[in-house]
């Protein structure tokens, strides 16, 4: 079984997302909801391509996040 399985682009512009809790805290934290407004790719040192998304949050702040740290909101 291969160690790393390449995953394609999961999100498209306009998707509603929230940021996963990647640090494992047990505190109850409200999830910020955001909308994807941009997609870019970056390569690591081995040449593998990863997707990064520009997100505009519900409080009008903007930030960029790796694909693995976001989760789509199914509505």
Range of the domain at 34: 16-72
Q: For residue 6, is it within any domain?
A: no
Residue 3 is assigned to a structural domain of this protein: no
Number of domains in the chain: 1
**Residue 52 counted as domain residue:** yes
Q: Pick from 18, 3, 75, 8: which is nearest to 41 by CA?
A: 8
pLDDT of residue 8: 81
**Residue 32 falls inside a structural domain:** yes
pLDDT at site 6: 63
How much is the pLDDT for 21? 72
Residue-by-residue pLDDT tens, the chain, 75 positions: 556 666 788 999 999 999 887 666 656 566 789 999 999 999 989 888 889 999 999 999 999 999 988 999 986
pTM attached to this predicted model:
0.78
Residue 11: inside a domain? no
In a domain, 2, yes or no: no
Beta strands across the sheet bearing 70-72: 62-66, 49-57, 33-43, 16-19, 70-72
- 37 lies in some domain: yes
- Domain-located, residue 64: yes
DSSP assigned state of 68 = G
């Amino acid at each position: 079984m291969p160690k790393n399985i390449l995953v394609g682009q999961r999100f498209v512009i306009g998707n509603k997302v929230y940021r996963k809790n990647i640090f494992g805290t047990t505190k109850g934290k409200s999830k910020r909801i955001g909308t994807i407004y941009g997609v870019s790719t970056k390569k690591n040192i081995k040449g593998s391509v990863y997707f990064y998304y520009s997100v505009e949050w519900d409080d009008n702040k903007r930030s960029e996040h790796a694909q693995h740290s976001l989760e789509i909101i199914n509505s």
